[in-house]
Amino acid sequence: MNKRSLIQSALAVALTATFAGPLLAQDKPLKIGVTAGPHAQIFEQVKKIAEKDGLKIQIVEFSDYVQPNAALNSGDLDANSYQHKPYLDQQIKDRGYKLVNAGYTVNFPIGLYSKKVKTLAELKEGAKFGIPNDPTNGGRVLLVLQDKGLIKLRPEAGLKATPLDVIDNPKKLKFVELDAAQLPRSLDDLDASAINTNYALSAGLSPAKDAIAQESAKSPYVNLIAVREQDKDKPWVAKLVKVYQSEAIRQFIQTQFKGAVIAGF
């Protein structure tokens, strides 16, 4: 080998060493945060399809709504899939997160449950009613109760309504604000509670059979895949969303959840 060939070989080795780090880093599985239940089940299917296309995924389960955004914003996750846009918008406003919506996923019509009554009309005066303690889901439930005729809210309250916005409450319902994950367990102590579908299913409740009332399927609460602002235009994001929004995943959602979870894409 002549001197020029030796120099070219050395340069090739140097360039390989220089660029191998970033290339290898892309081969690491994407860490996707989900809440236990339907979000996790759906992403298990997404993972199978994505890996056939060369996109490796590691699913990380959480038991609450707060940590997945904190972990994503800090870089411990690459994306998360568990929340609707009003909740993400509120988190961004409250915590200054640099997160964006990468694509819509599913809708979970929220259900109202009780072990003490069969219908909302049977609720007695002063009944204790459990609602989520985060502003967006709490407001969501109050809007459902207004839609069902139990309360009336200030017109300007909008999606972020709180119990303080209730201007008419004929049954004098007493609202008990709890972490969303705790609401299934509150049914033994309260007269009724509003429970997000993912937590209802995890607790063995069937929205179709056990809910005494449900939110309309037409709502602004479609869930989404969130990523950091700096990552939104990266190829893996578009690829991940494309797999999620595929016909195969739509069919899985319809077959697996039978209307308790609805495709929002």
Average pLDDT on 76-84 reads 97
Is 60 exceeded by the pLDDT of residue 12?
Answer: no
Mean pLDDT over 11-35 rounds to 59
CA distances from 167 to 131, 151, 162, 173, 176 (A): 17, 8, 11, 12, 17
pLDDT band at 218 (very low <50, low <70, confident <90, very high): confident
20 has a pLDDT exceeding 70? no
- Residue 8 to residue 161: CA distance in whole angstroms: 68
Q: What is the pLDDT at residue 255?
A: 95
Q: Write out pLDDT tens, residues 186-210.
A: 999 999 999 998 899 889 999 989 9
pLDDT-derived band at 185, boundaries 50, 70, 90: very high
pLDDT of residue 21: 36
Structure confidence by residue, pLDDT tens digits, 112-130: 999 999 999 999 999 999 9
Split at pLDDT 50, 70, 90, the class of 18 is very low
Residue 19 has a pLDDT of: 38
Residue indicated by tokens 């007269």 = 191
* 57-62/30-35 β-pairing: parallel
Mean predicted confidence (pLDDT) in 258-262: 86
**Domain architecture of the chain: domains with CATH:** 3-108+221-263 (3.40.190.10), 111-214 (3.40.190.10)
